[in-house]
Amino acid sequence: MKKIVISLSLILCSFLLIACGEEMMPNQAVDDYLQKYVTLDDDVVNQINEYVDKEDMTDEQKSKYKQILRNQYSSLTYTINDVKYDENDKDVAYVNVKLNVRDLYKVQQTTLYYYENHKNEFTDKEGNYDISKYLDYKLEQMKAATETTTHSIVIKVVKDDNDWDVSQLSSEDLQKIHGIYEYEE
């Protein structure tokens, strides 16, 4: 009887370890990371607020810009294509991701082109350049953006104490997530 109880206890413990202790894989760490953008995790919203609050804009423009960025992130879609482990270090993996984001880079280019050809629309009563008018125009164009673009990024993930952690993304990869990556048309 004692052997049965011990055996059942071992089986139950094994089941609990399997159910609760399932190791996160590199692709899950990347999925969790990107979902923070999509779900507008508090950390992401705080980063948006900190970033925009440093910009030289009116309070109304900052509010619009924050909403544009929230919309940008919540509309982000992605596909995790594959995971490749480092040949020399199995605690390092590279996750290939295909992102689909609103094309804010194209909006920036279009608004700049429009400005260059319509400078008189962005001046004050004395004929001086009024950056606030240009920012209002640019923000309205960004808000209305529906066209998307697709980028591929490779995200490095490192295993630390049995957890996979996303390494700091490059500036280029962050620009791709933000939809402002400069690409060739």
Of the candidates 148, 150, 163, the residue with the CA atom closest to the CA atom of residue 97:
150
* Residue 4 scores a pLDDT above 60: no
* Residue 16 scores a pLDDT above 70: no
Query: Cβ contacts of residue 154 below 8 Å, gap of 6+?
Result: 94, 95, 96, 97
Contact 166, 157 (CB under 8 A): yes
pLDDT given at position 50: 96
The whole-number average pLDDT for the span 3-8 is 37
Encoded amino acid at 19, one letter: A
pLDDT in tens, 40-61: 999 999 999 999 999 999 999 9
pLDDT given at position 10: 34
Q: Where are the alpha helices (DSSP H) in the chain?
A: 2-20, 26-38, 42-53, 59-74, 104-117, 131-144, 171-178
The whole-number average pLDDT for the span 97-102 is 98
CA distance 18 to 118: 65
Of the candidates 37, 36, 17, 41, the residue with the CA atom closest to the CA atom of residue 162:
17
* Residue 12 scores a pLDDT above 60: no
Lowest mean pLDDT among 1-5, 112-116, 170-174: 1-5
Can you give the C-alpha Rg of the chain in angstroms?
24
Write the DSSP symbol of residue 64: H
- For residue 155, report the phi and psi dihedrals to the nearest 5 degrees: -105, 125
pLDDT in tens, 129-182: 999 999 999 999 999 999 999 999 999 999 999 999 999 999 999 999 999 999
CA distance 164 to 22: 12
